[in-house]
Amino acid sequence: MNATQAVRVAEARADFPILHQQVHGKPLVYLDNAATTQKPKPVIDAIVSYYTADNSNIHRGVHTLSERATVRYEAARERVRRFLHAASEQEIIFTRGATESINLVAAAYGRENVGAGDEVLITALEHHSNIVPWQMLCNEKGAKLRVAPINDAGEVVIGEFERLLGRRTKVVAISHVSNALGTVNPVGPMIRAAHRVGAVALVDGAQAVAHIPVDAPALDADFYAFSGHKVYGPTGIGVLYGKKRLLEAMPPYQGGGDMIRTVTFEKTTYNDLPYKFEAGTPNISGVIGLAAAIEYLENIGIENAAAHEHDLLCYATEQLRRIPGVRILGTAAEKAGVLSFLLEGVHPHDAGTILDSEGVAVRAGHHCAQPVMDRYGVSATTRASFALYNTREEVDALARAVRKAQEVFG
Ligand code: C6P
């Protein structure tokens, strides 16, 4: 490890039990972190301890276990609040993931505030989760989905983005970091531009929060969405941050237990924030695991993790560029640890299969971002993505496996 890297990688790797195994007789090299990160021991322990000692339903029971579970659940909300620098815990809604967070805003905010002839502006970099909910809303309302283009490097053309903003724009929905190319969007200025025309701005932070310290109020994001499983936490848990004034004005997303104050057959009154948006028994163990994940990452330091991943990205880019026939997609000036590439004469799925036979786990496909693939005239790429526990030696293993794929299909 380079002496300037503050992440003690060997120590960090020891925290992730899953990394210490062989796949097809080779040491596992896990480079599919943009799809989901592995979970450190403190996260696994938090979930085990919850189910071993405190499991109960929350906000309902008068008994001790329920009180303990409720305390752990709400303490986790406070940790997420601090993580995003939100002003109030009322601004932190637990969801199933980034996808549900975006759907919640499209349904609850969008249905009330977007009408016929209005526009929703997204970018050509978006994941399907930040396209389809807006498309569904626009179809329902007779509104128009506008798309800001990207250049060959995979950067949003900011002049075009600004040109597409107008008095009809009601929502701007943008990714903080592209999952397919790794581009980091200048979300601060983009949010400010959205506000100048009176639109609200949602940021899809699914690929950002593990790599970039996020201060949602400083960004002035109206909504910020992320998934627990991409930030070393469990699957099935996510977060929606929303400005209190907007959340308060929005109708509920789903009806059920916990989101109500009173129910009669004639009328229901709704609970206060954030419970108004958390219908039904939530993913309690997921919330507790997420809080442990955030604590783990904060102890390492997001900036330290980001610096380490940046080093790996630069090193991997250099290594792959040395291999004739490799074409890297996504060469933005600001990139997080995602490396998407094509191998001449080898389909990305075949490349992924050969890499797997060498123990190297990557994602091959359209990465749920088909419009990005269309922009480059390809159907798929092979994608390596880095986390705080990856090493330069693993990048070397990736490069060796890529050469092997070339030989096999040569
Ligand atoms: N991207 C990937 O391999 P969920 O599935 O709700 O946890 O996250 C959806 C999502 C939303 N936005 C971005 C930018 C994303 O990258 C993802 C998930 C994974 O790239 C799985 S498709």
Domain assignment present for residue 225? The answer is yes
Domain count, the chain: 2
Q: Report the pLDDT averaged over residues 275-282.
A: 98
Domain assignment present for residue 368? The answer is yes
**Based on the domain organization, do 104 and 219 belong to the same domain?**
yes
> For the domain that residue 313 is a member of, what is the CATH number?
3.90.1150.10
User: Domain range holding 220?
Assistant: 44-299
Domain assignment present for residue 379? The answer is yes
99 lines ligand 1 (CB under 6 A): yes
Q: Report the pLDDT averaged over residues 384-398.
A: 98
pLDDT digits (tens, 9 = 90+) for 326-353: 999 999 999 999 999 999 999 999 999 9
Exposure b/e, 183-200, CB count within 10 A at least 16 = b? bbbbbeebbebbeebebb
**Based on the domain organization, do 259 and 324 belong to the same domain?**
no
Could you say which of 368, 372, 373, 395 is catalytic? 368
**Based on the domain organization, do 233 and 306 belong to the same domain?**
no
**Based on the domain organization, do 52 and 23 belong to the same domain?**
no
pLDDT of residue 1: 42
Q: Closest by alpha carbon to 177, among 6, 299, 330?
A: 330
Domain assignment present for residue 37? The answer is no
Q: pLDDT at residue 2 above 80? A: no
With a threshold of 0.75, does the pTM exceed it?
A: yes
Q: Report the pLDDT averaged over residues 142-154.
A: 98
> For the domain that residue 71 is a member of, what is the CATH number?
3.40.640.10
Domain assignment present for residue 144? The answer is yes
Q: Which among 299, 318, 335 is the end of a domain? A: 299
Average confidence score pLDDT of the chain: 97
Q: pLDDT at residue 63 above 80? A: yes
**Based on the domain organization, do 218 and 148 belong to the same domain?**
yes
Round to whole Å and give the CA distance between 109 and 107. 6
**Based on the domain organization, do 213 and 337 belong to the same domain?**
no
Q: Which among 255, 270, 299 is the end of a domain? A: 299
**Based on the domain organization, do 216 and 342 belong to the same domain?**
no
Neighbours of 322 (CB within 10 A): 10
Domain assignment present for residue 35? The answer is no
207 lines ligand 1 (CB under 6 A): yes
pLDDT digits (tens, 9 = 90+) for 78-123: 999 999 999 999 999 999 999 999 999 999 999 999 999 999 999 9
**Based on the domain organization, do 119 and 173 belong to the same domain?**
yes
**Based on the domain organization, do 131 and 243 belong to the same domain?**
yes
Domain assignment present for residue 217? The answer is yes
State CA 396 to chain mean position distance.
Answer: 27
**Based on the domain organization, do 348 and 376 belong to the same domain?**
yes
Domain assignment present for residue 104? The answer is yes
**Based on the domain organization, do 148 and 286 belong to the same domain?**
yes
383 lines ligand 1 (CB under 6 A): no
Q: Which among 278, 299, 320 is the end of a domain? A: 299
pLDDT digits (tens, 9 = 90+) for 202-220: 999 999 999 999 999 999 9
pLDDT of residue 7: 87
pLDDT digits (tens, 9 = 90+) for 19-36: 999 999 999 999 999 999
Peptide bond into 274 cis (omega under 30): yes
Round to whole Å and give the CA distance between 217 and 208. 16
269 Cα: distance to centroid of ligand 1 (angstroms): 34
Position in ligand 1 atom list of the atom nearest CA 179: 16
**Based on the domain organization, do 151 and 282 belong to the same domain?**
yes
Residues 6+ positions from 225 with CB-CB distance below 8 Å: 95, 98, 101, 102, 105, 202, 203, 204, 205, 206, 238, 239, 240, 241
